[in-house]
Structure formats: C-alpha cells, structure tokens
Amino acid sequence: MIDYSEKLKGTWNISLCKLRLWSSCHSGYTTQSTDIHYWIGNTSSQDEQGAAAIYVTQLDEYLGGSPVQHREVQGCESAKFKSYFKNGLIYKKGGVGSGFTHVETNMYSMQRLLHVKGTKHVTAREVNYCTRHLKSQFYYSEGSPSFILSVSDASGQLLVQEVATSPLTQDLLSSSDCYILDQGGSSVMVWKGKAASDEERRSALSRAVGFIKAKNYPSNTKVEVMSEGGESAMFKHLFKSWKEKGQTQGLGKTHSVGKIAKVDQVKFDVMELHAQPKLAAQERMVDDASGHIQVWRIENLELKEVNPSTYGQFYGGDCYLVLYTYNRANKPQYILYMWQGRHATQDEVTACAYQAVNLDNKYNGAPTQVRVVMGKEPRHFLAIFKGGLIIFEGGTGRPGVVNRDPGARLFQVRGTHEMNTKATEVPTRASSLNTNDVFLLKTDQNVFLWYGKGCSGDEREMGKAVADLLSEQDKQVVMEGQEPAAFWVALGGKAPYASDKRLEKEVAPHEPRLFECSNQTGRFLVTEVADFTQDDLDEDDVMLLDTWEEIFLWIGNSANQYETQESYSSAVEYLKTHPAGRDPGTPVSTVKQGYEPPTFTGWFNAWDAHKWSVSQTDQSPSRAKPSGMLHSEQLVKKPNQLPQGVDPEKREEYLTDAEFENLFGCTRDNFQRLPKWRQNDLKKKAGMF
C-alpha cells in the first residue's frame, strides 16, 4: 500500500485519488498515533473519490480501527500532510490511462510551467504554459464554535441528528454511536464509538462528506476520522476537559504528568496483540520485539555492517538502516527502518533512501519501510533495542574516526521498561534538566544519576540500566535538591530548569500545540506546526505555543513589530473563540528568543539553551551603537567599511525617519508590514543589503 518512491518525491497527478499510510509520533510523549491520508486531485472523478473512501475504510478496519483518517484535497492539504514532504509538493496534470483516457506522463519533451508558493511547506502547481496569472490565495481559520451530530441506527434506520453546541464535554460521546463534529465549516471530524455498529462505522465518513455538501461547504473542507481511544490532539482540544480511559490492557495504565505521558510498568503480553488488533495498531507493536535485528551505517554512501556490540547506539552525524525480521504464521515479515541523524549530510540522507530501495529489492519488496527522524523514534523502534537505545547528539560511530571529546556529556533518560526506554544526549548545562525525568551526567571522573522529583521508581531503574551501558564506572545517585558541588561544576554552574510544581501533578492530557505567526507571504497567517521540536522555532517569525494552562508568544530575533502585534491579537481571539470554551483569562506570556524561561523550554524535548548564542553575541548590549543617526552615503559601503557599531544586516535602522521614507518610499511601520523577501529587495535596491 505504501509507494515509497512517491513519498520521497512528493509529486502528485491531479486527476488521481491517492491513498497513503503514514505513522507519526509527537516528540516529548510516549503516546503515538497512526494516520491515514487520502489525497484527492482537483480533476479526479466521483468514482475515484468514492473508491478512495472505501479503501480508507478497509485499511482502517485492517489496522484495527485505531488510525486517524484525513481527507486531503489538492491545494488545501493540512500542515501535517505537508510536513511529510520536506522538499515540497508538486501538482502535475495528467492521471491514469484507460480505454477511455490517453495519458502521457512525464514526457521529457513536455514543457511545464509551475506556480510555486509557500515558505516552510512549498507547493508547486502546474498551470497552463501560456498563462500569466500567478496570483496566490491563502486561508486560515481556527473555526467557529463546534457542535456534534450523532450518527446512529438505534431506531432501525441510520439517522443524523444534532446533539449539542459548544462548549463540549466528553460525556456527550457515547461508545454505541458515531459523531460528526463541525468546526464552523473549516473542518469536519468524525468520531466512531468502539461499540457502534458496523453500519454506523462504515457510513460515518460518507455521512460527513454528505454533511459538507448539505451545508454548502467548500468541497476542499478537511475531514478527519478517528476511533474511540485514538483521538487526535486537535479533537481533544475542542472539549472543555478530556480524560483518558483508565487501564490499557497489556501495556500499562497511562496518565499525563506535565508534558510527558508516563506509563506504569505492566508486563507486555504479545498475545494481547492478536486478541486486540486495535491495541497493536495504536501502539504500533507488530510483535513483542523479540525478532532478529541487522544494522548498517551509511559510510561513503555505501552500506557498512555495524558491530552487534554497539547495536542501539546512534550518532547524530550518521544515517542507519535497521532491518527487523519477525515471523507471522510461520512466514518471515520485515520492517526496514531508515534512521536519519540530525547532522548527517544531505548526500548521506539521500544514500540512505537509495540503499533502502536496494535492500528492499533483495527481499522482493516485502519489507515495510519506515523513515525515522532523529528524536522521533516510534514505539516499536525503541522496543527492539530492549532499553538500550542511546542517541548521541553529534559525532559518528564509524570505526577509526575520533569524535571531539566534550569533557562531560548529559543524557536524558525516558521510559519505564525495556519496551519504551531511550536515552537522548542533551546540552551539558543545568538548563537541560527537567523535574519529570532521569538524567545521566558522565564526566572523566564521575558518573551521576540525577533523579527528578517527578520521575517514578520504574524510570529510575531504567536510568540505572542505561548508565551501565554507557559506563562501567560506579554511579553516584543524586536526588533533585540534594546535588553535590561537583555535579553543578560539571554542568557549568547552577541555572533555572523546568521544575514547575505543575509538572509533578496529574493534569488533563491536552497536548501542547505550536503555531507559526508570519507575514512573510505578504499576508498575516497563523499555521499549525505538526510534531514540533525546537528547530521549528523560526527566527523570522512569532510562534504561539498553547499549553492549555498558558499561552506563550515566542518572538524571534528577526520578527517584525507588525507580526508581534498581530500575534498577540490572534492569541486573545484564539482564546475567546475556542470551541472548548477556554477561560479568556488564560495567561498569555511573551518570550524573547534566547531568553526562554524553563516554563517554556520544558515543553520541548532536548532543549538547547545556547542554540542561538552566536547570533545573540552579534546583538549583545556590549556592542556599542553609533551615536545619533547616519546618512545613507555612510551606510552604502562594504560591511568592513561601515561606521563602528553598525549592524550590516540592519543598516536601515540608523537612518532618520525622513531619509528612511525618501529612500524606501514608505514609513518604518509600513516597511515592517512587508514580507521579509520584499524588505530585502528594497534594501538591495537602496544598496543596504
């Protein structure tokens, strides 16, 4: 069902309906989800669209009903869908040939004109070659207050009726029915109760599409379909409160503590996977992880086998292929993981994908291929290394290569048993600590095991196991609040870290959401960032982080004043119009890049407090600015010839208001409202870039 070559390219024929299965996990959490996206081309037929919906339902049933289904329409794809294609999307005309339709696809002699738009997630749409009309349109809508419609056949016939309006509460959902949730036309969500009849479950999606038509909503209205127990974070956010069901049989009771979903240790029983397909699909556990493992590293763009004694150790400067073999009905099955280090070169990443195809061919296409990005390892990937997964931030595992000696290394250990544990290297600074977790600090002289107040006994035991893998030295246990002086010295001194009392308490499991607030396109837009990490914080923009109890506005160093003002207004409106009836008095805090408090950084996994230290040095207060304003002829020079204290990238700031308007043809305020590319264009023409 997975066409991996297409997945790499991100190229779509607009007369097709394509079905893809994607898996993703939210960084910082132990819970994971499986997503099915089906994509509808603008010129696809009703029969093709209907067939895609049928296949989605069949695939959903095959996977136990746990995946979240997403209906994606050309040109209006969700941010989550676009995030899978790091190189962007290309829409091409054409389709599948048949007895009635002749299609010539990708002919070398064919000339194509592509309309490219977007910043983070670029899309390219093929337009008529002679066209001169390239105007873009952008849309953003959080949606007005929602209501749930129930889909039930309890009366003997399938009925759809209105149930409630916002604010919504979880007790409105009955396991014996299905529900349609309408976000004011911006999107439609379908929830399927676990005790609903087969007819109700199968008809829920078609009823949602019919509902869109009946309401005269645009045909590209987004649709998500999910089953009870597999709700998306967005769905939960629409309810005033949300509590998970008590016990997850076979895998432990899940409860949320601060930013981390903790799992109490319960012995894993593989038989539960066969008895409960939903459980297997939801946890992405095809077996008990007792199969056979082979690991290769990309070296000089070729595959080199890794010494089994180092299995589980992954370096951020490398790419690896991991082939996992297990048996089902006495027949071998394969999963091929492609692990990509954050600091690997583009050539290595490309070679990793290429070698994966070669290895896949050797097994006649049998392996299921899974792309794993460093820091977002899926549950089964953790399990196959039996608690021995250790991720080094940089460097390489290649034999004969000497990595830089950092002097001291700090590892964040998360997990309660060998099926869900990994250790991640984080910056060796006090600010990296988190009261929820176990940390391992390794120096030339000592190995410290630091236990945060919010960690459990099971987590401490797994911390000890990881420590034994990393070092044969004796370990010194350090309890939070009782650290010896040598511990702080190794970390470069004491500093604030994520130790808020709220992180130790059980709270409603509303996962945090991150939004990018930007006017780089020429129009102010707010778009959600899926599966976010610190790297998603854009210096040119304002980022809105919603942690439910508090909203943060992160101000990038290069964000303009207009973005800052609009972002604050958007945050207030976001709370006011939230379908879950959020408290409008929820705190909205402003955070400056490089000065993030622990209450903000605690929501990110492996936060690097000095990520932007270089740029901060350039803008430090110690750098004296020239006194008074300067004339344009003083600023139109090479960077090394500028007056002392002038920032070459911000020369326009040293002009008087009159000279600024004369040079750029607009006021400073209007200049700030322009997208970044337009500002740079004007600066180039003025000789100030």
Q: Which tens digit of pLDDT belongs to each residue from 176-196?
A: 888 888 877 778 888 888 888
Among 131-145, 271-285, 554-568, name the most confident range: 554-568
Q: Which tens digit of pLDDT belongs to each residue from 554-611?
A: 999 988 888 888 898 888 888 888 877 888 878 788 888 888 877 788 788 778 877 7
The stretch 435-449 carries a mean pLDDT of 92
User: Among 321, 329, 335, 250, which Cα is nearest to 291's?
Assistant: 335
Query: What's residue 613's pLDDT?
Result: 65
**Is 574 part of any domain?**
no
Please determine, for residue 285, whether its predicted confidence score (pLDDT) is greater than 50: yes
Size (the chain), residues? 689
Our CA angle for 681, 684, 685, nearest 5°, is 90
User: Among 185, 178, 189, which Cα is nearest to 221's?
Assistant: 185
Q: What are phi and psi of 575, to 5 degrees?
A: -70, -40
- Are 15 and 159 contained in the same domain? yes
Query: What's residue 81's pLDDT?
Result: 82
The CATH number linked to 661 is 1.10.950.10
Query: What's residue 248's pLDDT?
Result: 34
Q: Which of 124-133, 264-273, 416-425, 485-494 has the lowest mean pLDDT?
A: 264-273
Segment 33-36 long-range contacts (CB within 8 Å, at least 24 positions apart):
33/67, 33/68, 33/230, 33/232, 33/282, 34/63, 34/66, 34/67, 34/68, 34/281, 34/282, 34/284, 35/67, 35/68, 35/69, 35/70, 35/80, 36/60, 36/63, 36/67, 36/68, 36/69, 36/70
Up-side HSE of residue 301: CA atoms within 13 Å toward CB? 5
Please report, as a single letter, which amino acid is at residue 582. Answer: R
**Is 304 part of any domain?**
no
Please determine, for residue 156, whether its predicted confidence score (pLDDT) is greater than 90: no
Give the number of other Cβ atoms within 10 Å of residue 522's Cβ: 13
Higher pLDDT, residue 419 or 15 = 419
**Is 69 part of any domain?**
yes
Query: What's residue 630's pLDDT?
Result: 64
Q: Which tens digit of pLDDT belongs to each residue from 229-259?
A: 878 777 888 887 777 664 333 333 333 323 3
Structural domain harbouring 23:
11-96+112-130+143-237
Decide which of 479, 501, 523 is a domain's last residue: 501
Please determine, for residue 676, whether its predicted confidence score (pLDDT) is greater than 70: yes
CA dist., res. 171 & res. 10, Å (int): 41
**Is 222 part of any domain?**
yes
Which residues are CB-neighbours of 240 under 8 A, at least 6 positions away? 167, 168, 169, 580, 581
User: Among 211, 242, 220, which Cα is nearest to 148's?
Assistant: 211
Percentage above 70 pLDDT, the chain:
73
Number of domains in the chain: 3
Which residues are CB-neighbours of 339 under 8 A, at least 6 positions away? 314, 319, 320, 321, 322, 372, 374, 377, 381
Strand partners, 514: 529, 545
**Is 316 part of any domain?**
no
Inter-CA distances, 127 with 112, 117, 135, 403, 515, Å: 8, 13, 12, 50, 31
User: Among 91, 101, 148, 94, which Cα is nearest to 124's?
Assistant: 91
Average pLDDT, the chain: 75
Contact 292, 325 (CB under 8 A): yes
Token duo for residue 163? 């149930």
Please determine, for residue 622, whether its predicted confidence score (pLDDT) is greater than 70: no
Q: Which of 97-101, 205-209, 405-409, 513-517 has the lowest mean pLDDT?
A: 97-101
Query: What's residue 123's pLDDT?
Result: 60
**Is 565 part of any domain?**
no
Helices 46-62 & 198-214 angle (0-180, nearest 10): 150
- Are 637 and 497 contained in the same domain? no
Decide which of 237, 272, 291 is a domain's last residue: 237
**Is 659 part of any domain?**
yes
Query: What's residue 172's pLDDT?
Result: 84
Which residues are CB-neighbours of 211 under 8 A, at least 6 positions away? 149, 160, 180, 182, 188
Please report, as a single letter, which amino acid is at residue 399. Answer: P
What is the residue whose two structure tokens read 């988190």? 434
CA dist., res. 150 & res. 204, Å (int): 10
**Is 597 part of any domain?**
no
Please determine, for residue 399, whether its predicted confidence score (pLDDT) is greater than 60: yes
The CATH number linked to 228 is 3.40.20.10
Decide which of 451, 475, 501 is a domain's last residue: 501
Query: What's residue 274's pLDDT?
Result: 45
Contact 230, 236 (CB under 8 A): no
Query: What's residue 634's pLDDT?
Result: 73
Query: What's residue 269's pLDDT?
Result: 47
What is the residue whose two structure tokens read 């936060």? 607
Please determine, for residue 127, whether its predicted confidence score (pLDDT) is greater than 70: no
Q: Which of 6-10, 285-289, 319-323, 467-471 has the lowest mean pLDDT?
A: 6-10
Sheet strands (E) in 402-446: 409-414, 422-426, 438-442
Higher pLDDT, residue 459 or 105 = 459
Strand partners, 383: none
SS (H, E, C) 7-57: HHHCEEECCCEEEEEEEEECCCCCCEEEEEEEEECCCCCHHHHHHHHHHHH
Q: Which tens digit of pLDDT belongs to each residue from 77-126?
A: 877 787 777 667 777 766 655 444 445 554 444 455 554 555 566 565 65
- Are 28 and 167 contained in the same domain? yes
Q: Give the pTM.
A: 0.48
Please report, as a single letter, which amino acid is at residue 620. Answer: S
User: Among 543, 515, 536, which Cα is nearest to 527's?
Assistant: 515
